[in-house]
Amino acid sequence: MDLKNLAAILDPQAPADRPFIIQVSPEGDEQLRLGYGEARLRIAALARGLLKRGLGRGEAVAIVAANSADYLVLYMATMAAGLVSVCVNHKLPRETVAHIMKDCSVKLAIADAERAPLVGSLVPTVAMEELDGLLDAGSFEPVDMAPEEVAMILYTSGSTGLPKGVPLSHGGYLWATGATPEQRPGIEGQKIIIAAPLFHMNGLFSAKMAMINGGTIVLMTNFMARGFIRAIDRNRVAMITSVPTMLALVMRETEELAKADLGCVTTAVTGSAPSTAEFFEQMHRMFPNAETANSWGTTESGPLGFGPHPDGIPKPMGSLGYPRANIEVKFVGGAETGATQGVLHIRTPALMSGYLNREADTKKRLIDGWYDTGDVMRRDENGFVFFVGRADDMFQCGGENVYPGEVEKLLGRHADVAQACVVPVPDEIKYQLPVAFVVAKPGTSPTEEALRRFALDNGPAYAHPRAIWFVDELPLAGTNKIDRKTLVDRAVATYARDDAKRV
């Protein structure tokens, strides 16, 4: 297919009566179905309606809403019309959303009732619930776009400072969606569950992979662990996409899991955070018929990085895979050959041209055409790559570098640990000390002393947590990743009050 607009990826071979989207509630109950035929007509009518409002090529339309079938339809219609989709994290503070509206010169916002107050006074706004008023029925062919023209703008969600706009091109994402044709047999006519928010690359790209391969999207309006299990069982979902935090919450729902039949799942993909071999073994037990995969991507460089080894060497448990064709990688700070570890720099056809209106930030991250991911990776002797942690999460303890992801994986190997998050607290002597928040597996009661001893026996002494607090669950940020900033603040306050914890 020689496509010239990202919106044209919707599989033309998919029968009109095949479900395109099955929208389900957080409890897993079906709310509506939209077939491929209906979706094609609705995307065309919305594209026509947007242009009828006088919007011009390359102008930005913001979507400020929870997950829904119409969210995806609007996302596609905007790009089909030659406009730019801006998928806004509606969990951001009001002033940050206002910055986004101004930063990318939004001309029109579509917002659901709960989020409309965020943007209604800033830009012309149409209610998502009144989207039918925008429809202009009729045929419409997606506008031919140059490869470098912007299809969408996503905003990175940093823990400090204003988020940075990342313009992503039609050409780059046409490459990304078409780079893995071997996935079609596992997706065509099958159901894929998406529970991640659609303002995040993970959810959006999973949706596009379903579209181009003729799959059916089971779309949760919001993630809830029990509802996730029910939706998989009731809809006989074949493929799940997730982040480790979501699956850790699912694993705790032992009663719901006992009632469900998840043997329908043949592919289970997780990513965006480090995971242990033990975690993947738990995934195998939960989805006994599934092939599991550890995915990796960034907003700036694209959703793809690694895949199978070209020589057919089996992928080790927990590995991201081997660099895919047309992707170049190098490990800064590591050796050029053999096993090594360093910060991953990457070049891909989906690489951004630069941050929107942020020249200084662009220069920091784009270096001679390479994107500095900030991710510390390890490469083994066969070229397989493993995620170690974030370079900017790294902190120093007594002159030694501590990577929280490595300590979390170590704690995750303990039989009683379901999930762990390691953060630093200040110390007058060591500068910073590692401490941990731990979620225990159901039915277990690990002690702080037992886990500290486990860490000392199995890892470097300087990296062992000096304090461990047990919690029912770890707080999540808007992207369903662990909210480290909240835990850092909690750890600093708690550690300062508890002199007995000082080491």
The confidence score (pLDDT) of residue 278 equals 77
pLDDT at position 272: 62
**Cβ–Cβ < 8 Å for 361, 164:** yes
CA distance 270 to 292: 8
**Beta-bridge mates of residue 456:** none
Domains located in the chain, CATH noted? 6-199 (3.40.50.12780), 306-390 (2.30.38.10), 395-501 (3.30.300.30)
| pLDDT score, position 162 | 81
Q: Per residue, what are the HEC states of 122-178?
A: CCCEEEHHHHHHHCCCCCCCCCCCCCCCEEEEEECCCCCCCCCEEEEEHHHHHHHHH
CA dist., res. 158 & res. 173, Å (int): 23
pLDDT confidence of residue 137: 97
Beta-ladder partners of 84 = 60
N-to-C CA span, the chain: 63
The per-residue pLDDT for 500 is: 46
Supply 222's token pair.
């919001």
pLDDT confidence of residue 242: 87
Q: How many helices (H) and strands (E) does the chain have?
A: 15, 25
Instruction: Give residue 345's pLDDT.
Output: 96
Q: Which residues make beta-bridge pairs with 423?
A: 435
Within the chain, which residues score under 50 in pLDDT? 159-160, 337, 500, 502-503
DSSP string, 100-114: HHHHTTEEEEEE-TT
> How far, in Å, are 218, 481, 491 from residue 469 at the CA level?
36, 19, 9
Query: What is the per-residue pLDDT for 238?
Result: 98
C-alpha angle 23/61/242, rounded to 5°? 40
List all residues 6 or more positions away from 372 whose beta carbon is below 8 Å from its beta carbon: 332, 343, 345, 364, 365, 366
Would you state the pLDDT for residue 275? 66
In whole angstroms, what separates CA 393 from the centre of its chain? 18
pTM of the full predicted structure? 0.83
DSSP state for residue 398 in the 8-state scheme: T
3-state secondary structure 254-267: HHHHHHCCCCCCCE
Q: Distance (Å, rounded) from C-alpha 389 to C-alpha 275?
A: 10
pLDDT at 160: 47
Q: Which tens digits make up the pLDDT trace of 13-23?
A: 999 999 999 99
Rg (CA), the chain: 23
Residues facing 30 on adjacent strands: 24
The HSE-up count of residue 184 (CA atoms within 13 Å, CB side) is 12
E strands, 229-316, in order: 239-242, 267-271, 291-295, 306-307
